[in-house]
């Protein structure tokens, strides 16, 4: 039986006091790849922020990776985020330190203390994203595609059940986008990690078909087939 990693029932998503999305019913299972599409301003980011605990869920029911979103408080949010990986369009790497130290910073921030285990984990995630020998490079010495791979490696550090990717191919050329999409699909398949990817890139969505959910007029439509714009 499939294990639900995301489950929302009659959830109303707010940004401050503004109702952004209403009566959201959504289930995403382990290992599933799902696109989140929709015009700018229709609630994609608000939905993602609710899933990783930046916006509170005030109405309806919701669980993410076993955490009840209605019961989240500032003490519990870090524990939720340890079970998630978040990949951004802007790579958000620390520019004053090399790749290894970028990744070590995240491990320390999420409670790792053993130097040997940290080094092993870093070697493991760099290997997974095909950048085994790049640990000593500074971010500015790397291409956009390599920086995005480092961002994905960072998201993999705590063996997440779910990766939330916000426009991860948005700043990349078509060839590099292809590499990143291959990598994300491979991660979903090989590690049984659920991935929800917000995208504006219709070419990518057509080329790598998967289940699509769409934000439109305050609603979330599942299995949307309509074109994105």
> What domains appear along the chain, each with residue ranges and CATH number?
1-83+160-229 (3.40.50.300), 90-159 (no CATH)
pLDDT of amino acid 224: 58
pLDDT of amino acid 68: 97
Q: Which residues contact 39 (CB under 8 A, 6 or more apart)?
A: 215, 216, 229
Digits of tens for pLDDT over the chain (229 positions)? Answer: 679 999 999 999 999 999 999 999 999 999 999 999 998 889 999 999 999 999 999 999 999 999 999 999 988 988 898 899 999 777 678 999 999 999 999 999 888 999 999 999 999 999 999 999 999 999 999 998 999 999 999 999 988 999 999 989 888 889 999 999 999 999 999 999 999 999 988 889 999 999 999 999 999 999 755 444 4
- Burial class from Cβ neighbours inside 10 Å (0-12, 13-18, 19+) for residue 157 reads buried
| Distance of alpha carbon 76 from alpha carbon 89, whole angstroms | 26
DSSP output for the chain: -PPEEEEEEEEEEEETTEEEEEEEEEEEETT-EEEEE--TTSSHHHHHHHHTTSS---EEEEEETTEEGGG--TTTHHHHHHTEEEE-SS----TTS-HHHHHHHHHHHTT---HHHHHHHHHHHHHHTT-TT-TT--GGGS-HHHHHHHHHHHHHTT--SEEEEESTTTTS-HHHHHHHHHHHHHHHHHH--EEEEE---HHHHHHS--EEEEEETTEEETT--SPP-
* pTM of this structure: 0.91
CA dihedral over 92, 157, 79, 17, signed as positive or negative: positive
What the block records as the tokens of 192 is 């049984």
pLDDT of amino acid 212: 95
pLDDT of amino acid 202: 84
């Amino acid at each position: 039986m499939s294990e639900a990693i995301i489950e929302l029932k009659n959830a109303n998503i707010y940004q401050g006091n503004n109702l952004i999305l209403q009566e959201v019913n959504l289930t995403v299972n382990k290992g599933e790849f799902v696109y989140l599409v929709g015009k700018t301003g229709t609630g994609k980011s608000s939905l993602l922020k609710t899933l990783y605990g930046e916006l509170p869920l005030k109405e309806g029911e919701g669980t993410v990776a076993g955490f009840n979103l209605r019961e989240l408080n500032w003490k519990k949010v870090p524990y939720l985020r340890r079970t998630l990986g978040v990949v951004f369009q802007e790579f958000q790497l620390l520019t004053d330190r090399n790749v290894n130290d970028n990744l070590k910073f995240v491990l320390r921030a999420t409670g790792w203390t053993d130097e040997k285990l940290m080094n092993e984990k870093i070697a493991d995630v760099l290997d997974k994203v095909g950048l085994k020998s790049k640990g000593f490079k500074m971010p500015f010495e790397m291409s956009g595609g390599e920086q995005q791979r480092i961002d994905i490696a960072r998201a993999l550090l705590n063996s997440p059940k779910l990766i939330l990717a916000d426009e991860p191919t948005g700043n990349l050329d078509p060839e590099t986008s292809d590499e990143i999409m291959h990598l994300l699909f491979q991660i979903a398949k090989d590690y049984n990690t659920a991935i929800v990817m917000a995208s504006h890139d219709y070419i990518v969505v057509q080329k790598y078909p998967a289940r699509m959910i769409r934000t439109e007029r305050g609603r979330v439509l599942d299995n949307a087939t309509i074109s994105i714009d």
